[in-house]
Amino acid sequence: MLAFGKTPRDLNVPGESELKGGRGVSYCAVCDGPPLYRGKEVILVGHGDHALQAALYLSGVASGVTVVQRPNTVRGATRSCSRPSSPGTMSASGQGARSGA
């Protein structure tokens, strides 16, 4: 799962293009979350509120959500950083970041 805020961007990693189109890489948590990720572990690559909101949504669908961000800290509005109310788990990381959600 990829979520890059308002403007989706590719990571340009090997195999990415082959996994688009309902095969694993998506840019819309609400559109694709339930059919593609229900009960699965999800890695969400993104930044800020949009990524955190997608992660919170997916925590109610997926068995676990890991958020990966480039900055050293996970950033987002306080309201986006609240604990998920679902049984799914969340974790967050960045380059040298503190882990946790």
State the catalytic residues: 28, 31-32
Name residue 2's beta-bridge partners. 45
Distance between CA atoms of residues 1 and 55, nearest Å: 10
How many other CB atoms are found less than 10 A from the CB of residue 24? 16
Nearest in space to 67 (alpha carbons), one of 86, 50, 85, 51: 51
Q: Are 36 and 61 in contact (CB under 8 A)?
A: no
